[in-house]
Amino acid sequence: MTVRAYVIGLALILYSLTNPAFSVHLGKSTATIYIRADGSVHPPDAPIASTDNVTYTFTGNVNDSIVIERDNITIDGAGHTLQGNGKWAGVNLTGRRNVTIKNMEICNFYYGIYLYGSTCITLFNNSVKNNEWDGIYLLNSIGNALYANTISSNKRYGIMLSESSNNKIIHNNFIDNANPAYTFDSFNNVWNDDYPSGGNYWSNYVGIDLYNGSNQNETGGDGIGDTPCVIDSYNHDNYPLMGRFNTFVAEHWDGVTYNIDVVSNSSVSNFKLTESIIPEFPSTISLNVSGPDNTIGFCRITIPNIIVQDLWRGSYTVLLNGQPWPFSNWTDIINTYIYINYTHSTYEITIMPEFPSTLTLAVFPLTTLIATALLKTRRKTKFPNFP
């Protein structure tokens, strides 16, 4: 760690001693939860359960900070809330390695998540909001990964990086923060995946989407902004997303858990993957979208290639409210990307096998009703087991 990093860390502690509103828990408060280096949880009655001292799962909401003192663990919020009263950090990761924090809502602290001198940390599918300073703060931390988090309404920065380099920050939503991101002496951070996977959603991004392709020079939209989102001269998102990023678990294929991702400027609901057990009836992926009437909406659905092959043998079509609808698509070595646009209303989007005749499509709504009792339907939540 650099001298500057130590000075900043010491300054934070000294500041907390003179300002009650910025209190650093040093182990005296019984309200703060600690996961100790030996794997124990303190206090013992904290709403966190573990059977192996590797995976820790919230069993209820927590109304104070959690300090992590153990490496090589996963903490799963399981949809619960970690809520503070304007003090220090919601999740404190100081000097930690190989820790995953996922599936929790973190609000009302100074920092929602605080990393100091930490590496190989994964932050996945968390909602970090309404914090007095920063949603996520990285200080002297390298080689960390932030995926599929929604970072919103934080009063200083959505994310701040200080002397923190080589971090990967992709497929997150930065929404209505006072400032979405700030970096200080932080280099070689990655803010976007390759095309067409893309980067992050930034609510303050003012670019447009008229083109597609890795150089954004081919006519037609793709759900990615045509110009980069610039954070500073060393940090920029080359493929900013034009809508919010949502992720849904898609069960197991060959023993592996996969996700289906949706980027859309519409409200997305009622995601379903329906795998047919009868060859005569189609396997489908469907979801509902809605938005303000007479505005333009889009939806881009990212499906792992193994699912595209297993469900539809690689050949599929798109329906909007049961009617064939034009779409664009791209494929890389991992995923298939399907993009459609529409004038906003309330629609059901369905992806299903491509049929040889229009007659089959015409009777699809009827056969769907008949087949309901014969299908195995998988309804998923927004808390996938990604890392």
pLDDT of residue 365: 52
Model confidence at 367: pLDDT above 60: no
Q: Helix or strand or coil: residue 2?
A: coil
pLDDT 10s digits, 242-279: 999 999 988 767 778 899 999 999 999 999 998 887 76
pLDDT 10s digits, 97-123: 999 999 999 999 999 999 999 999 999
Sorted by sequence, the CB contacts under 8 Å of residue 86 that are 6+ apart come out as 21, 108, 109, 110, 132
Model confidence at 374: pLDDT above 80: no
Between 342 and 386, whose confidence is greater? Answer: 342
Which residues share a beta bridge with 296? 343
User: Does residue 27 come out as left (phi exceeding 0), alpha (psi in the -120 to 50 range) or beta?
Assistant: left
Look at the pTM and tell me if it is higher than 0.95. no
Which residues share a beta bridge with 289? 268, 347
- Percent of the chain at pLDDT exceeding 90: 76
Model confidence at 381: pLDDT above 60: no
Q: Look up residue 242 and give its two tokens.
A: 């034009």
Residue with tokens 């989007």: 349
Alpha carbons 341 and 348: distance in angstroms, whole number? 13
Between 332 and 256, whose confidence is greater? Answer: 332
Alpha carbons 190 and 205: distance in angstroms, whole number? 18
Which residues share a beta bridge with 269? 288
The residue type at 113: I
Out of 232-236, 241-245, 301-305, pick the least confident: 232-236
Alpha carbons 323 and 325: distance in angstroms, whole number? 6
**Predicted confidence band of residue 31 (pLDDT cuts 50, 70, 90):** confident
CA nearest 56: which of 37, 30, 35, 87? 35
pLDDT of residue 279: 66
Q: Helix or strand or coil: residue 364?
A: helix
Domain ranges of the chain: 3-190, 245-379
Alpha carbons 366 and 172: distance in angstroms, whole number? 39
State whether the Cα torsion 178-88-172-78 is positive or negative: negative
Model confidence at 363: pLDDT above 90: no
Q: Would you say 236 and 228 are in contact if contact means Cβ atoms under 8 Å apart?
A: yes
pLDDT of residue 6: 40
The continuous run of DSSP H or E covering 75 comes out as strand 73-76
Q: Helix or strand or coil: residue 296?
A: strand
pLDDT of residue 4: 46
Q: What is the mean pLDDT of residues 349-367?
A: 63
pLDDT of residue 280: 67
